[in-house]
Amino acid sequence: MTIEPPVARYQQVASQLRDAIRRGDYAPGSELPSQPELARQYGLNQTTISKAIGVLRVEGLVRTEQGRRTIVEETPTAKRVRRIPRAGSQGGGIFASEMQRLGLEPSTTLAKVAVTAVPEEIADYLQLNENDQVLLRRRHMFASGTPVQIATSYIPMAVAGDVSIAEPDTGPTGMYQRLAARGFRPARFTEEVEIRRARAEEVAFLQLAEGQPVFSIVRTTWGQNDRPIEATINVLAGSQWRLIYEWTYEPNA
C-alpha cells in the first residue's frame, strides 16, 4: 500500500482504512487486520498504525477490544432532520422514525425523574432564577440495544405541577400532550447546536472513545404566550448522526 509525503503517514493510513470501511470492505462488526499485520502491509511501525487506529476511534468508526483487537462499529449514521415549518408539527418522533428507517429497533428507558433547582446552564433558556425548581427527566435511548442518545428535559415546576406528569414515559410527543392538558400547549420550538468534547458520564453511556466529540442540542419548547415551558438537552455521538435542517424559501423574509 502506497504512503507518500507530505501528509503525515498515520493520517494517510487512517484515510485509507476509513475509505475501506465506507466502501464496505470491512463490514460493521467485523475485525480490522491486527496492528502488526497492518504495519507489514504499509511498511510502517506499529506506533504509526496505532495513531491511525486512534483517529478512527475518535471518529467513532471503530472500537478496540481485548488490547489491540479493532472492531468496526455496527451502528450506522442516522439523520436528524428538522423541517421548518414542520408539517403537522407536534415535536418529537424523530428518533424512533429514523431508527426504524435504518432497520433498527428504537427503545428508551426513563433513567431519572427528580425535582431539583434549575441548573445554571438551563436557567436562561427557561427564564428562571437560580433558586427556581424544575422537573428533571432523563431518558436513555437505544438502537437495537446500542446506546445512541441521552435526552435530559427540564420543565419548570409551575408548568409541570408534580412528578406524575413524567410517568409513565411516553416520549416527547406524549409529554407535549400532557403539558397541553395542563394548559401549556407547545406553540414553537428553537434549537441550539453545539459540538463539544463528551463528558465522563456521556463517554460511559454512549461507549465513546476518549476525546470523541458529541452534538449537544438544546431544544426549547415555547408555549402560546411565548413563555418557555421546557428545555431539553439531547446528546448524540458526533460520528453517528448527521443534522439536516430544511426550510422553505420566503422571498419577503
Q: What are the structural domain ranges in the chain?
A: 9-72, 78-247
Per-residue confidence (pLDDT) for residue 144, from 0 to 100: 85
**Which CATH number is correct for 9-72, 1.10.10.10, 3.40.50.720, 3.10.129.10, 2.40.50.140?**
1.10.10.10
Q: What is the pLDDT of residue 87?
A: 46
DSSP state, residue 31:
B
User: What pLDDT score does 194 carry?
Assistant: 94
Beta bridge partners of 247: 84
- Report residue 149 as a C-alpha cell: 442518545
With a cut of 50, which residues of the chain have pLDDT below it?
Answer: 87-92
pLDDT for the residue numbered 115: 97
What pLDDT, on a 0 to 100 scale, did the predictor assign at position 91?
Answer: 44
Q: Is 67 exposed, middle or buried (0-12, 13-18, 19+ CB in 10 A)?
A: exposed
Q: How far is CA 99 from its chain centroid?
A: 13
pLDDT of residue 102: 77
From residue 217, give the alpha-carbon distance in Å to each of 29, 81, 192, 214, 231. 29, 13, 6, 9, 10
How much is the pLDDT for 170? 74
- Chain segment 79-138, per-residue pLDDT in tens: 677 766 554 444 446 788 778 877 888 899 999 999 999 999 999 999 999 889 999 999
The neighbour count for residue 82, using CB atoms within 10 Å, is: 15
Q: What confidence score (pLDDT) does residue 62 get?
A: 85
Q: Tell me, what's the pLDDT at 88?
A: 44
Long-range contact set of residues 83-87: C-beta below 8 Å, sequence gap at least 24? 83/246, 83/247, 84/245, 84/246, 84/247, 84/248, 85/247, 85/248
Whole-structure pTM value: 0.73
- 43-51: long-range contacts (C-beta < 8 A, 24 or more apart)? 43/1, 43/3, 44/3, 44/9, 44/13, 48/9, 48/10, 48/13, 49/10, 49/13, 51/10
CA dihedral sign of residues 190, 195, 200, 205:
positive
Which CATH code is given to the segment(s) 78-247? 3.40.1410.10
